[in-house]
């Protein structure tokens, strides 16, 4: 039995892909075997989740003037000053965004704020928005918050307001992190994720690819997510370089490399919701319909924070043509009683 056949038997047997086997599949992909790797990841996705797909949307609660120095970000007041206008979204507009998202079939609406840590007003606005959304929409859509580093008290206030998920990306491996961020640490990110988990949140945490990291970094991040963070959803974002940011001169990743990243994450994290998020349209273009065959189980629909997304009608048409069923909660067929 060949090495690939051994790996195939291992992952189709319900086991996560080990690090060394992941590196083997990466090398295989780089030597012309990418389609075979994508096909295997697609088999694992179908075995676990069938034709189910989950959608989510986001709305910015506060934009710009961020004290963090993340080199990719247009909202950083340090590495990209004045590139994004500093402003807040009225609570009434957050409610409208939630209604629009539910109409499109989104299972959740994420309220995303710039900033290292949330101020009292940030927390108050999100709590008010959550109350208004639940009051008007009952249980038609879930609410996720992405507000930066949290204290235990802040986390408990948010869960008391019926916010059920917290989003906080690790972004990259511990080894590469300090190359692109110096304003905060990897440990502080892990601490926030643990605070959120202790408060009862479901966790959404993933990374951004195309910043100059190696495949070893990508696999290290997947291991950290799987073995340490243990999130419910893993968003995969792909850098679409923004002029005037420190990473603005980088080239976007090749399309097959992006699809291979999705496939490797599916194989390493077989039971998790793998969500393709930022950069999908600009980096993949006409090949974005292949993200599900490569192993993804969810994607964002609608606009992002500072950039527009693909027209929702085009996304819905794509899903229909692929024969995928939009659901609010993914059912893991391998664990279904």
Give the pLDDT confidence score for residue 78 in this predicted structure. 85
How many C-beta atoms surround the C-beta of residue 71 within 10 A? 19
Q: What is the pLDDT of residue 192?
A: 97
Q: For the chain, which ranges sit under pLDDT 70?
A: 303, 306-308, 336-337
130 closest CA partner among 159, 99, 161: 161
pLDDT digits (tens, 9 = 90+) for 221-239: 999 999 999 999 999 999 9
What pLDDT, on the 0 to 100 scale, is given for residue 335?
Answer: 75
Task: Write down the pLDDT at residue 83.
Answer: 84
Return the closest-CA partner of residue 142 out of 328, 271, 301: 328
Under 8 Å between Cβ of 114 and 142: no
**What pLDDT is recorded for position 27?**
97
pLDDT tens-digit series, residues 118-132: 999 999 999 999 999
Q: What is the pLDDT of residue 163?
A: 96
Plot region of 212 (φ>0 → left; ψ -120 to 50 → alpha; else → beta): left
- DSSP label of 15: P
Residue 306's pLDDT is 61
Instruction: Give yes or no for a contact between 64 and 290, defined as CB atoms under 8 angstroms apart.
Output: no
Identify the CATH number of the domain defined by range 18-326: 3.20.20.70
Domains of the chain, by residue range, sit at 18-326
- Report pTM: 0.96
């Amino acid at each position: 039995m060949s090495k690939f056949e051994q790996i195939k038997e291992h992952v189709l047997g319900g086991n996560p892909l080990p690090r060394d086997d992941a590196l083997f599949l990466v090398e295989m992909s780089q030597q012309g075997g990418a389609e075979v790797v994508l096909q295997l990841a697609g088999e694992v996705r179908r075995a676990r989740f069938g034709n189910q797909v989950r959608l989510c949307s986001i709305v910015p609660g506060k934009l710009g003037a961020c004290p963090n120095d993340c080199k990719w970000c247009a909202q950083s007041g340090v590495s990209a000053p004045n590139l994004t206008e500093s402003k807040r979204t009225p609570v009434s507009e957050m409610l409208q965004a939630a209604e629009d998202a539910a109409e499109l079939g989104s299972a959740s609406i994420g309220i995303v704020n710039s900033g290292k840590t949330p101020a009292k007003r940030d927390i108050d606005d999100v709590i008010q928005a959550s109350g208004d959304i639940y009051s008007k929409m009952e249980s038609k859509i879930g609410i996720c918050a992405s507000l930066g580093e949290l204290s235990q008290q802040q986390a408990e206030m948010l869960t008391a307001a019926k916010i059920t998920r917290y989003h906080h990306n690790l972004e990259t491996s511990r080894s590469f992190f300090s190359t692109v961020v110096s304003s905060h640490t990897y440990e502080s990110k892990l601490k926030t994720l643990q605070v959120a988990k202790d408060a009862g949140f479901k966790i959404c945490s993933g990374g951004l690819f195309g910043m100059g990291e190696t495949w070893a970094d990508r696999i290290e991040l997947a291991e950290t997510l799987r073995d340490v963070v243990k999130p419910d959803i893993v968003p995969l974002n792909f850098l679409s370089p923004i002029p005037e940011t420190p990473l603005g001169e980088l080239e976007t990743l090749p399309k097959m490399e992006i699809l291979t990243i999705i496939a490797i994450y599916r194989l390493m994290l077989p039971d998790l919701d793998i969500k393709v998020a930022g950069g999908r349209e600009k980096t993949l273009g006409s090949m974005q319909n292949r993200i599900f065959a490569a192993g993804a189980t969810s994607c964002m629909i609608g606009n992002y924070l500072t950039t527009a997304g693909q027209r929702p009608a085009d996304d819905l048409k794509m899903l229909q043509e692929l024969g995928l069923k939009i659901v609010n909660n993914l059912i893991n067929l391998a664990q279904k009683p």
